[in-house]
Structure 1
């Protein structure tokens, strides 16, 4: 079985800019191959050094020449072709022996790199993978702190070894450009930039992210001593002509987004709700609901008691009136027994303050999904709480829904101070429903204490129902399968 060949990009020079995958492969390789000039010092090896280990075989691939003059019968290209053929033959011997070979490449292996010449000779014969790296162009833009391209601009990348007239022609447009491989070509590149009127906009970046990094206006650089690892950069012209304010300019009020958090946890949160929470400057809500939003030190958090909905709504609107982006949070859906109606009611006193409602998955939907499809036909939603409406109204609505043969989703069935309503509701329902009617008790659905119990109306024990439960009472057509799945058919007899 043959070994595997990896062309591994090392990035622009800083060893910390090597990707995690590249670092792992370097450490695991049997053979590390790298190129070097005639002096034998390899920049690639020096970048990868922190990730090398004892016992690895190193293959030094020493270039036969560094200038375009040679006495090789095939000329410069012939000398390089023979060199790469010999390198490929040496690496093939390791691959045939089953060894893993990593070829180190500065920047990206397929971007003006020497690795590609080995790739063309070996990739069709051995399992091969190329691991990309950060290019010198990206690094130069980063250290310069100027965007490369914006919107519809086109980036042109040129080697400085091109003829002077070709460089001038390619640099003549308004778009961004990078010219690599400066070194001996620096003067020619500078002259081409001057001829096209772009010299004043050009930057010189030498050894980006390395210890000897240097950044300067290209027109101020002395040609003597310019290294090969330097480039000329014409960044996006849009960046130079765009003035961005240091801080956002608040004009007029902010906004109030009434956000549904769903029944529990981030997995139940919609992308729209996540976006509203991320954009907020202030989080307002009942304490346990505010606690469900991950803390962010730039945001102010306003936790309140559960019985001050009107005050909470007005506070949120006051904050927004003064320019804040406020997220008022509710469990489930904010329009179902939650804060949306309270905020909209109070909004009449705050003209000009935008209010939007961001929906969330309801507790009824969550419990129903765990049980099967008990809400598959007509259903109604009721709250047993008599804090905001008298029990007589609650009882009348239960009776009406029961008589209409609707499935009921019952919120707020009990609390520490309300312990008798579940039994009262059960008795009202039994006046119109058979004792065998399926009942689903969902507790803390989506949370760590989740439980879903399927029972019947006749066997419903009020003692097992607390403030964290939601009840679903089936209709005359609701069924329970042998596997305990509850569903209400779409067809009505």
Structure 2
């Protein structure tokens, strides 16, 4: 990294030492230490430095040693800025000590366990000095790689995703991220171990979790995380969720069915919970269009079908679960809104499936997605109605539209039209114009979240049924709904306060 300092200034090295075994230091790390005049390393107040112990064989008698002693680690402090203030002051003072050597033309090697820029103390020196002095960072083997190697299990394969988390995150955040990923490593255990264990259990992944303590160092320990005594866990330990590919099949006495809502479009609309349920399933069952939104995973079976066989699809999923399979029934939007949850629960209520667990996981509904794209048209009371007369007669639909319009509710209209149903939108517009003003805002939202997304706000009188198809959702405003043209287009919202309130 080039700088505009005087030519006589020394060079800064951030030296990665690897996970603990001195034989895992790189040749470049050894060379950087050899070239240094000053060797710096961090330690707690007890004075022992793991970094120095790793590099001990390469530290010479003529090296100037700078021990950077943390004023606090986990204990409290009387510093006026609290823990963060004490640490920030320490980093500033430590950087100043190193800068004095660099200004004197000395080469400084800052030792770092693992990799210098991976949860390491060196990075705080780097941020304060690298823009001022010539700097080289020497990468090192991380504890993540060391843990996987010591377990002897693949960490990630093919298209799997690896997530690395600090155990200091809140338990709910840990659980959400652990549920949503394929493989994971949780760092910084020690005092956080019980919380991390609870998060793994909450994410349904405790049985998969492995534990690695002091990888490649004396006192190394590995095993199932569920078997570890929380009181025995040091800071230098990690939790690992290895690759699921080729994992030993889980033998279950009974399976389960999870009905999963994928939202209105692709992966961006999945919740962490639904993403995790899809990844953990043995079998995916659903309408082929919705199944295509879910990534293909090795070892998972996919069972696609036509959109008109909901009961048969539900029965098939429940039969799989009865044989010990973990089944995800894939539904678009939210599975409880004109979708698969009802069909599954209806069949599951039969006596023969009474012992099969069924869970329903919510998803982003088409109405909520369309409303967000348009502004906030569902900001007050609203009604949701399907215009499809395949499962109920048009007379019932018309009566519900009249009742909702008479109550001055905003209307979210699902399934407004298709190739075989072309007249319902026109009939609905005609009916509503008898009860709503012609300039009532109507959101016409098509393919929200998809490549063909189009969201417009039109007047009720100008709504063209020919522009509406099965991929369209309509939101018809109430008497209070407002549409305003702003930079970037027209937005609509319904005030939360009604005039008489």
Of structures 1 and 2, the larger Rg is shown by: 1
Equivalent residues of 1:150, 1:236 under 8 A apart: no
Q: Using the alignment, how far apart are the partners of 1:177 and 1:421 within structure 2? A: 65
Choose from 377, 387, 403 the match for 2:380.
377
CA 1:93 to 1:274, structure 2 compared with 1: closer, same or farther past 3 Å? closer
**TM-score, normalisation: structure 2:** 0.61
Choose from 454, 458, 463 the match for 2:457.
454
Structure 1 runs of 4+ with >2 Å offset: 10-14, 43-49, 58-63, 91-99, 101-110, 122-146, 149-154, 231-239, 245-249
Equivalent residues of 1:384, 1:411 under 8 A apart: yes
Equivalent residues of 2:14, 2:138 under 8 A apart: yes
Q: Does 1:235 align with 2:235?
A: no
Q: Does 1:365 align with 2:376?
A: no
What displacement does 1:403 show?
1.6
Equivalent residues of 1:265, 1:292 under 8 A apart: yes
What displacement does 1:151 show?
8.2
Structure-2 residue corresponding to 1:353: 356
Alignment of 1:235-384 (within 5 A): 235=221, 247-251=249-253, 253-349=254-350, 350-384=353-387
CA 1:389 to 1:151, structure 2 compared with 1: closer, same or farther past 3 Å? same
Q: What secondary structure is seen at the aligned counterpart in 2 of 1:482?
A: strand
Count residues with an aligned counterpart.
359
Structure-2 residue corresponding to 1:489: 495
Equivalent residues of 2:376, 2:494 under 8 A apart: yes
Alignment of 1:22-421 (within 5 A): 44-45=26-27, 59=35, 83-85=62-64, 103=109, 108=114, 133-134=140-141, 139=146, 142-143=149-150, 232-233=218-219, 235=221, 247-251=249-253, 253-349=254-350, 350-421=353-424
Deviations 1:48-83 (A, max 9, x none): 89xx9xxxxx948899xxxxxxxxxxxxx9xx8861
Deviations 1:299-321 (A, max 9, x none): 11011001101111111111111
Equivalent residues of 1:13, 1:47 under 8 A apart: no
Structure-1 residue corresponding to 2:201: none
Q: Using the alignment, how far apart are the partners of 1:436 and 1:237 within structure 2? A: 68
CA 1:352 to 1:130, structure 2 compared with 1: closer, same or farther past 3 Å? same
**TM-score, normalisation: structure 1:** 0.62
Deviations 1:94-134 (A, max 9, x none): 955999x7849696589xxxxx9xx9xx9899757976734
What do you get for the CA RMSD once the two structures are aligned?
4.7
Q: Does 1:436 align with 2:439?
A: yes
Deviations 1:118-169 (A, max 9, x none): x9xx9899757976734799859944759xx998799xxxxxxxxxxxxxxx
Deviations 1:385-418 (A, max 9, x none): 1111111111111111112211110011110111
What displacement does 1:265 show?
1.4
Moved more, 304-313 or 476-485: 476-485
Q: What secondary structure is seen at the aligned counterpart in 1 of 2:63?
A: helix
Q: What secondary structure is seen at the aligned counterpart in 2 of 1:445?
A: coil
What displacement does 1:336 show?
0.4
